[in-house]
Amino acid sequence: MKQVAIVTGASRGIGAAIAQRLARDGLAVVINYAGNAVEADKVVGAILASGGTAIAVQADVASATDVRKLFDQTVAQLGRVDVLVNNAGIMPSQLPHLSATDDDTFDRLVAVNLKGSFNTMREAAQKLENGGRIINFSSSLVGTLLPGYAAYVATKAGVEAMTSILSKELRGKNITVNAVAPGPTATALFLDGKTPELIERLAKMPPLERLGQPEDIANAVSFLAGADGGWINGQTLRANGGMV
């Protein structure tokens, strides 16, 4: 039986690249999405066309009930869960300073990025097979701490803290818990609402002088999910071309 990975937020962006990479690595993949069924089905179709195994499952990670159903449906259809990639996340395209950030923006960031990661980690901690892997998503902004990102970075710093603590709580279960912290990566989340000049400036920040591509991040996730990453545990891996 193939190992099974749930990739949250896999209909687009980094998650879609991760799903396709893990399918090439030989895992059966669950393409989770919030609302974009058409894009999720496209990712499933691409994986099936290249001989892989994939299903699409809608679930809002902010809802504990949805997340429980996501895991139950995975086990019902694919038999097990070995890898959780906690990639689903949001970032507002407008980035006001903390003093001008409204309650709805703050609450939604916490609900999806922080509670969402908590919901999926809690299920995974109970349901992952021996040898399992949990890979969370932070951001290199936790290192740069740029103005305008206070609420977003607060959620990602919380994810990093939970990563480290859960890795210790799973002692004896042979499950690793790590986080990947991308730098600026060419997806809708990063590009939307920015001028070409700002994108160019941010792209030049890493010494490698380009934006990350979703595949750059998928490569790091593949390492942590695969045999070669087995001794890495409780860490946050910044994948950002050397920006911070």
The CB density around residue 82, as the number of other CB atoms within 10 Å, is: 22
The CA distance from 131 to 7, in Å, is 17
Q: Using the minimum distance from each CB to ligand NDP, give the nearer residue, 184 or 206.
A: 184
**Of the ranges 28-36, 44-52, 143-151, 219-227, which one interacts with ligand NDP (CB under 6 A)?**
28-36
Tokens of 144: 């740069």
Beta carbons within 8 Å of 144's beta carbon, 6+ residues apart: 243, 244
Q: Which of residues 80-109 bind ligand NDP (CB under 6 A)?
A: 87-91
Question: What is the total count of residues that contact ligand NDP (CB under 6 A)?
Answer: 33
DSSP structure string for 31-98: EEESS-HHHHHHHHHHHHHTT--EEEEE--TT-HHHHHHHHHHHHHHHS---EEEE------SS---G
Question: Is residue 120 close enough to count as binding ligand NDP by CB under 6 A?
Answer: no
- Does 34 bind ligand NDP (CB under 6 A)? Our answer is yes
Residue in 59, 56, 79 with CA at minimum distance from that of residue 68: 59
Catalytic annotation, residues:
152
Please identify, among the stretches 21-29, 163-171, 185-193, 219-227, the one whose residues bind ligand NDP according to the rule CB under 6 A: 185-193
Q: Which is nearer to ligand NDP, 87 or 178 (CB)?
A: 87
CA distances from residue 175 to 130, 134, 194, 228 in whole angstroms, order as listed: 7, 7, 39, 14
CB of 137 to ligand NDP, least distance (A): 4
CA dihedral 114, 128, 8, 150 (to 10 degrees): 20
Question: By C-beta, is 167 or 187 nearer to ligand NDP?
Answer: 187
Choose one: 9-17, 22-30, 126-134, 225-233; the region binding ligand NDP (CB under 6 A): 9-17
CB of 125 to ligand NDP, least distance (A): 19
Among the listed residues 4, 7, 14, 153, the single contact to ligand NDP using CB under 6 A: 14
Contacts of 44 (CB under 8 A, 6+ apart): 31, 54, 55, 56
**Is residue 241 at the binding interface for ligand NDP, with CB under 6 A as the rule?**
no
Our finding on whether 52 is near ligand NDP (CB under 6 A) is: no
CB of 1 to ligand NDP, least distance (A): 26
What is the CA angle 231-236-239, rounded to 5?
Answer: 105
> Binding to ligand NDP by residue 11, rule CB under 6 A?
yes
CA distance 143 to 140: 5
Judged by CB under 6 A, the residue of 60, 82, 123, 216 near ligand NDP is 60
Give the three-state DSSP class for 184: coil
Given the rule CB under 6 A, which residues bind ligand NDP?
Answer: 8-15, 32-36, 39, 60-62, 87-91, 112, 116, 137, 139, 182, 184-185, 187-190
